[in-house]
């Protein structure tokens, strides 16, 4: 009879220890045979083919997670690259624009230097600080004032010709009334024949007027107007404008010439202020009052 509490696998036959030794020996023999000969290769391949579907089923959640992670990473990477390219294009466009602007300013400064070398008068180079927000006047505020030697009454020029006249200064800034301001006037003469006239700012935007011309005055379209030097503030010979047309009023017997300024203050940021003698020029309040009247 079987003793209580004693577990037996077989009713008869070799003992458990003998069977264990035999199984170990068989395993070792199979390992040696498989290592030196390909006897077990067909069985291994058949077993691999049989269990492959089960492997795919078991690994499906892992593969799905890896695919989703790779897709999400690729989408994020593509968005980051798009943003980087977009920023790069914007930066390149800004650099290109800034480079072109610097090249244009350098070219204008070289032209101003050539102008200052041709003029014997001392001058101060200024830059536009800001433009007053007033649609009914034409003024510019420069970044230099009385500390740089600028005084009211001094003319402002660019490479094209006369731009305007300083009307007010502070220690650090100065205000100029442009030539086309309808309250400004400047003594001019026709370069072709030396005829002396007075040019005013026009009600027509961006134009100059020469008023009260007699019927036989020798002024015609295409004539160049330059400063006459009368008054001492504007040196003689500075370009002012070019006559566009001459209109005569049969009722009054007078004519009026319309001219285009040769300067372009709306295009540039740098100008020259000529340091002429302005000892006889009224103070800024008187100049502003005269311009207003």
pLDDT in tens, 210-245: 988 887 888 989 999 999 888 878 888 889 999 999
Q: Domains plus CATH for the chain?
A: 123-292 (2.40.10.350)
Alpha carbon of 122 to those of 154, 186, 242: distances in Å? 11, 20, 26
Alpha carbon of 287 to those of 140, 235, 282: distances in Å? 16, 19, 6
Residue 91 φ/ψ, nearest 5 degrees: -65, -40
279 or 21, which is more confident: 21
- Strand partners of residue 174: 142, 169
> 126: which 2 tokens?
């200024």
The average confidence (pLDDT) of the chain is 80
Minimum mean pLDDT range among 12-16, 145-149, 257-261: 12-16
Residue pLDDT, tens place only, 175-211: 999 998 877 889 999 998 889 999 998 877 889 999 8
At 3 the pLDDT is 55
> 225: which 2 tokens?
């107007």
Give the N- to C-terminal CA distance of the chain in Å, as an integer: 141
CB 97 within 8 A of CB 251: no
> 203: which 2 tokens?
């009600």
83 or 170, which is more confident: 170
Residue pLDDT, tens place only, 101-153: 667 667 766 766 766 666 767 888 899 998 887 766 789 999 999 999 999 99
- For the segment 268-282, the average pLDDT, to the nearest whole number, is 81
Nearest-angstrom CA–CA distance, 266 and 100? 17
Exposure on the CB side of residue 180, measured as CA atoms within 13 A: 20
At 236 the pLDDT is 86
Residue pLDDT, tens place only, 84-100: 777 777 667 666 766 66
Q: How much of the chain exceeds pLDDT 70, in percent?
A: 79
91 or 271, which is more confident: 271
Exposure on the CB side of residue 8, measured as CA atoms within 13 A: 11
At 259 the pLDDT is 94
At 72 the pLDDT is 78
> 139: how many CB neighbours lie within 10 A of its CB?
15
Per-residue confidence band for 291, with pLDDT thresholds at 50, 70 and 90? very low
Residue pLDDT, tens place only, 59-86: 788 888 888 888 878 778 888 888 777 7
Q: Is 161 left (phi over 0), alpha (psi -120 to 50) or beta?
A: left
């Amino acid at each position: 009879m079987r003793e209580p509490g004693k577990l037996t696998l077989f009713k008869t036959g070799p003992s458990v220890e003998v069977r264990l030794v035999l199984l170990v020996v068989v395993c070792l023999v199979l390992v040696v045979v498989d290592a030196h000969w390909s006897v077990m290769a067909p069985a291994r391949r058949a077993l691999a083919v049989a269990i492959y579907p089960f492997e795919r089923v078991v690994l499906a959640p892992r593969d799905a997670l890896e695919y989703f992670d790779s897709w999400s990473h690729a989408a994020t990477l593509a968005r980051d690259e798009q943003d980087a390219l977009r920023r790069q294009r914007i930066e390149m466009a800004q650099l290109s624009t800034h480079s072109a602007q610097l090249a244009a300013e350098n070219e204008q400064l070289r032209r101003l230097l050539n102008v200052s070398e041709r003029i014997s008068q001392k001058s101060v180079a200024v830059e536009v600080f800001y433009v007053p927000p007033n649609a009914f006047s034409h003024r510019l505020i420069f970044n230099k004032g009385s500390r740089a030697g600028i005084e009211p009454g001094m003319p402002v020029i660019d490479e094209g010709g006369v731009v305007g006249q300083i009307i007010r200064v502070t220690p650090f800034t100065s205000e100029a009334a442009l030539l086309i301001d309808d309250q400004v006037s400047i003594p001019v003469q026709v370069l072709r024949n030396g005829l002396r006239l007075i040019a005013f700012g026009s009600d027509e935007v961006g134009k100059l007027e020469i008023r009260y011309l007699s019927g036989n005055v020798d002024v015609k379209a295409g004539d160049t107007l330059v400063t006459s030097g009368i008054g001492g503030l504007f040196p003689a010979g500075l370009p002012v404008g070019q006559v566009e047309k001459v209109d005569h009023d049969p009722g009054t017997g007078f004519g009026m010439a319309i001219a285009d300024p040769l300067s372009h203050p709306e295009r540039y940021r740098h100008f020259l202020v000529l340091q002429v003698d302005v000892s006889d020029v009224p103070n800024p309040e008187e100049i502003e009052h005269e311009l207003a009247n």
